[in-house]
Amino acid sequence: MKRHNFSAGPSILNREVIEKASQAVLDFDNGLSLLEISHRSKPFVDVMEKARALALELLGLEGKGYKALFLQGGASTQFMMVALNLLEKRAGYLNTGTWSDKAIKEARIFDDIYEVASSKDANYTYIPKGYDIPNDYDYFHCTSNNTIFGTQIKQFPDSPIPMVCDMSSDIFSRTLDFSKFDLIYAGAQKNMGPAGTTLVVVKESILGKVSRKIPSIMDYKVHIDKSSMFNTPPVFAVYVSMLTMEWLKSLGGIAAIEKENEKKAQLIYSEIDLNPLFKGFATKEDRSIMNATFTLANEDLKETFDTMVKEAGISGINGHRSVGGYRASMYNAMPLESVGTLVDVMSELERKA
């Protein structure tokens, strides 16, 4: 039976990428496994350099003063690292979900953090709009896509101060003017690769402006100077991320995958809106093209629906406990066919009910 993986992360990877990665585990360099070669060897240094270059190329940031890094510790470490490197007096945060809330909590350890706007009052069902970003803050932080609640920022503000964005769950999924952002970070395990590495893309000109001493391992400048090899990198995660970016480039880049992602989102949201047995969680105008969140209108049908989903080979659609219901995560590697299978099951439930 074909499996349809809607997991929110670690999530689906392209099959060709998995096959190439599997071969590299067996034999990457003259009989040596990718898992046992030195990270200082030329074969892996070439992988790291290619991965960093591909990230900038796909984002359209080549030659614009940005550096790409592959670090460890996930986006959760970036919550602290951003503040350590950029926060001198105060910063503004847009609170749109669990992960932005956690980012605020971590940054508050260091200094004054203000929420410029929040949708917490409505359990994060929408994206705040019409807020002001003070021009005397050190930076403005936002989260582009909220995996748990299924909301996504559609239009980013023109920030008068450096803009930092957590793009962990929609990096490389849609065309944006990425030069609007001074720092982007994204855990690999949703759209880029396996868990274990985090992409950071930072404009060098915003660094070196805080008075505090920064531990070497937490200093972006140190990692830039060492070409993202200051300490032993997560070799396998970086390699698979490189393969994924190569695959994305071969398709035509972000613009090409965005069209496919829009098709998938339109297909499932049409079913959610037309099928009376389901209701969407997020406000329509703020719905994510990556994570569709929805619930059953009648919970008595849950056992039946769950059985049908399992029989269809669908996995990973249980919603987060903060929302309940279901969550269909449709990252770049998710084929339209899988979304169609889920929609067929939803339609069949309506016929049976």
For residue range 22-49, list pLDDT tens digits in order: 999 999 999 999 999 999 999 999 999 9
Task: Reply yes or no on whether the pLDDT at 61 is more than 70.
Answer: yes
The pTM is what? 0.97
Q: Is 286 a catalytic residue?
A: no
Tell me what pLDDT residue 111 has. 76
Tell me what pLDDT residue 76 has. 96
Task: Reply yes or no on whether the pLDDT at 1 is more than 70.
Answer: no
8-state DSSP, 318: B
Tell me what pLDDT residue 68 has. 98
Residue 14, classed as helix, strand or coil, is: coil
- The segment(s) of the chain belonging to CATH 3.90.1150.10 are 253-352
Query: What tens digit of pLDDT does each residue of 232-265 get?
Result: 999 999 999 999 999 999 999 999 999 999 999 9
Are β-strands 326-329 and 151-152 bridged in parallel, bridged antiparallel, or unpaired?
unpaired
Which one from 166, 182, 219, 286 is the annotated catalytic residue? 166
Cα(142)–Cα(92) distance, integer angstroms: 9
Q: Is 182 a catalytic residue?
A: no
Q: How confident is the model at residue 214 (pLDDT cuts 50, 70, 90)?
A: very high
Tell me what pLDDT residue 284 has. 98
Which one from 99, 170, 219, 286 is the annotated catalytic residue? 99
Instruction: Name the residue among 154, 160, 237 with its Cα closest to residue 193.
Output: 237
Q: How confident is the model at residue 112 (pLDDT cuts 50, 70, 90)?
A: confident
Average pLDDT, the chain: 96
Q: How far apart are the first and last CA of the chain?
A: 26
8-state DSSP, 320: P
Contact 156, 132 (CB under 8 A): no
- The segment(s) of the chain belonging to CATH 3.40.640.10 are 15-251
Q: Is 2 a catalytic residue?
A: no
280, β-bridge pairs: 294
The backbone region for 208, taken as left when phi is positive above 0, alpha when psi lies in -120 to 50, beta otherwise, is left
Q: Which CATH number fits domain 15-251: 3.40.640.10, 2.60.40.10, 1.10.600.10, 2.30.30.180?
A: 3.40.640.10
Contact 190, 166 (CB under 8 A): no
For domain 253-352, the CATH architecture is Alpha-Beta Complex (3.90)
